[in-house]
Amino acid sequence: MKVYWRYTHGTRNTYAALYAACEREGFVLEPASAPARDITCYSLNSLNSRALLIEMEHADCITVAGGPFATACYREVAKKADYVIVGEGEHRLPSLLSSIEAGTAVESCGIATRRGYQPADSMVRLDAWPPFSQMKGYVEISRGCPFSCAYCQTPRIFGHGMRHRSIDQIVLHASRYRDARFVTPNALAYGSDGRKPRLEKIRSLFRQLRNNIYFGTFPSEVRPEFVSEEALNLITTYCANTNLQFGAQSGSNVVLERLNRGHTAEDVIRAVELCLDAGLSPVVDVIVGFPFETDVDQRATADLVRWISDRGKIHAHLFMPLPGTPLAGSRPSPLIPELSRMLGSLALKGKVTGSWSDPKIAFCGSCSNDRA
């Protein structure tokens, strides 16, 4: 039985993990740029789903869909795909492929079809699955997030409990590359419950890695209130990165509160100052155009962006409503001219990257995870 992976650029880390998971069961996920027989697997997100759903509907093969969009909208996707994997795919995809090949009944937990859906009854233990094999990927060190930012799909897909890959397993997988780069919703939460850092775990990890370590930089950003002198001391002692990336999202405490971010604009300012004291350049993520933002809120974001731009860089993008989140179905607010003009002029000076007019450009959707 031939199995293909519908390759798209933004889903390559998911491909790496599922390639490794399927390989263990004897299935090789060949990359494909169009559906092909016998089976083609898709990872759907809010950017690619419109085109790929049309493609799937007309596909002359068995189609399997997963990913954040398919997880949030499984009923809609099940009208176009033969099988929809809801949530994590490491166990379900190879098990589904085995059932299809053997012609036996498909284990229904966590898999939706036109006939119905039964929720999953288990979650993946990261140590049980390699993060990649032949297909290069980053090492996913943690999954799940205890926070509930209103725009983010991560806790809605992976749950609110943080799970971590063990240090031994991280070191083993990282040893395949010279540089170690990680996927996690919050790198400084490694080894913890996600709310209170356990820096001793991070220190042990760093001590055992033999790589050039990149930590707290894409794709493993951190939360601002986790930035401390001690944490930065660990990074500057053991890691190769010269910058630290974290999410501010807004300069307005009213907006941060409504988003349920769990930190304030003052936490962001403090994190920027700590970075500078430690000799690291801050790179701060900002989302503009939240649906409930007022002119006053946008001015507060403009003030914060201006202040950061004198000290570091900003990655800005326009709010995009994601399915399965409390802000699904809402629309971005228009930007006040002062904010859009300022972002444009700072972009020309190389201080701002991203897009604040089209959410489809450079949108990440959560801290960093694209895996489902």
Judged by beta carbon, residue 6 or residue 223, the one nearer ligand SF4 is 223
CB of 148 to ligand SF4, least distance (A): 6
CB of 2 to ligand SF4, least distance (A): 36
Judged by beta carbon, residue 93 or residue 145, the one nearer ligand SF4 is 145
Tokens of residue 164, six digits: 């971590």
Judged by beta carbon, residue 91 or residue 143, the one nearer ligand SF4 is 143
CB of 162 to ligand SF4, least distance (A): 10
Distances (CA, A) of 292 to 303, 336, 339, 352: 18, 13, 16, 24
CB of 107 to ligand SF4, least distance (A): 29
Judged by beta carbon, residue 147 or residue 190, the one nearer ligand SF4 is 147
Please, are residues 134 and 19 in contact by the beta-carbon 8 Å criterion? yes
Report the distance separating Cα 144 and Cα 137, nearest Å.
19
Q: Which residues contact 39 (CB under 8 A, 6 or more apart)?
A: 1, 2, 3, 4, 61, 62, 63, 64, 97, 100
**Helix locations, 73-227, DSSP H:** 74-78, 92-102, 154-158, 167-174, 199-208
Judged by beta carbon, residue 157 or residue 304, the one nearer ligand SF4 is 157
Query: Residue 62 pairs with which residues in a beta bridge?
Result: 39
CB of 256 to ligand SF4, least distance (A): 11
Q: Which residues contact 100 (CB under 8 A, 6 or more apart)?
A: 1, 39, 62, 106
Which residues contact ligand SF4 by CB under 6 A? 145, 147-149, 152, 154-155, 185, 223, 366-367
